[in-house]
Copies of this chain bind each other. A is one copy, B any other.
Amino acid sequence: MQKLLQCIPNFSEGQRPEVIEQIADAVRAVEDVRLLGVSPNGDHNRTVLTFVGPPDAVAEAAFQATSKAVELIDMRMQKGEHPRIGAMDVVPFVPISGMTMADAVDVANAVGKRIAAELDVPVYLYAAAATTPARKRLPDVRHGQYEGLQESIALPERKPDFGEAKMHPTAGAIAVGARPPLIAFNVNLGTGNVAIAKTIAKGLRESSGGLMNVQALGVDLAEQGIVQVSMNLLDYTRTPIHRAYELVRIEAERHGVAVVGSEIVGLVPLDALLGVVDFYLRLSDFTRNQVLEARLLEG
């Protein structure tokens, strides 16, 4: 199967188009990498890039984008609403096909090591690449932000995974990690009673005893006269789309409410959708290679 890795770096510039474009161009310049999205946010003063390709090419593009961000962004002046520790703030690698999470962790390690060695920016490994439980969650890694980390980086528990325990003067520090693809999945319910959506969301989410790897909120879609269970599925390989959908459906039935629709927001890996087809059709022996378009992507 073709190896595909995704990278979704976030850098600390969301206002100056010429800076954003130069960083995006660093990705575009790498052969075999496809830049699928450039999403600046002016208030956050932050931009999210989405690109995908073979692992070596994606690793190279992540490094080149980081190098350009380190060159162009001066954190001594940077202001924005979003928490951040550096010019290139966070670089997550996401296995899409033909790769395990361990493979993505290897890429995070290699890129993190190179960033520290060649750009003199201290690197924290996070999420699946974290070296201690305290670094699993990004908010913990970002604690104190660029300003606070100037001093706390010297503490033993804040020692970077790569590079010296010293902030880069203009570029700060960077979090590099590996995680599963996140799927934003919402289920709409045929009622105007948001309390029902909130109750179901509470039952669904990991934090209150529901499904692992699921975040869920009950939301009022007042304009449409319906409510929504809005979810993030953080690891569809272990907690697939259909399981979240069916659980919402069954919990809604308890309230005499029907599912009237659902939506997937943004990008979704093919394998996550094949899981849905597999479940409902009870497929046996179906492989990704039988999808004509997936065959076309094979090298």
| Complex Cα spacing A264 to B280, Å | 13
Residue picked from A6, A260, A267, most chain B C-beta under 10 Å: A267
A188 to B283, CA, bound (A): 10
Chain B residues near A97 (CB-CB < 8 A): 293
Chain B residue nearest in CB terms to A6? B292
With both chains docked as a complex, state the minimum distance between the C-beta of A146 and any C-beta of chain B, in angstroms. Answer: 32
A270 is an interface residue with CB less than 8 A from chain B: yes
A212 lies within 8 A of chain B by Cβ: no
> Does A118 sit at the interface, judged by CB under 8 A?
no
Q: Closest CB-CB distance, A128 to chain B, in whole Å?
A: 19
Q: A270 is contacted by which of B259, B266, B283, B291 (Cβ under 8 Å)?
A: B291
Measured CB to CB, the closest approach of chain B to A190, in angstroms, equals: 11
Q: Which of A52, A97, A273 lies at the interface centre, i.e. has the most chain B CB atoms within 10 A of its CB?
A: A273
Q: When the two chains form their complex, are residues B260 and A282 in contact, meaning their CB atoms are under 8 A apart?
A: yes
Total interface residues in chain A, CB < 8 Å: 41
Across the interface, which residues of B come within 8 angstroms of A96, CB to CB? 292-293
Q: How far is the CB of A269 from chain B (nearest CB, A)?
A: 5
Bound complex: CA A241 to CA B282 (Å): 13
Given known pairs A277-B277, A297-B297, the reply for A270 and B284 (CB within 8 Å) is: no
**Taking CB as reference atom, which chain B residue is nearest A273?**
B277
**Closest residue on chain B to residue A245 by CB atoms:** B281
A291 to B36, CA, bound (A): 11
Q: Which residues of B contact A297 (CB under 8 A)?
A: 293, 296-297
Residues of B within 8 A of A242 (CB): 280-281
- For A262, what are the chain B residues with a Cβ–Cβ distance below 8 Å? 281-284
A294:B295 contact, CB within 8 angstroms: no
Extra A-B contacts (14), CB below 8 Å, given A96-B293, A270-B292: A4-B296, A34-B295, A52-B296, A245-B280, A261-B283, A263-B285, A268-B291, A268-B292, A269-B291, A270-B291, A270-B294, A273-B277, A276-B276, A276-B280
Q: List 12 A-B contacts (CB under 8 A).
A: A4-B292, A34-B296, A262-B281, A262-B284, A267-B292, A267-B295, A268-B292, A269-B292, A270-B292, A270-B293, A273-B277, A293-B297
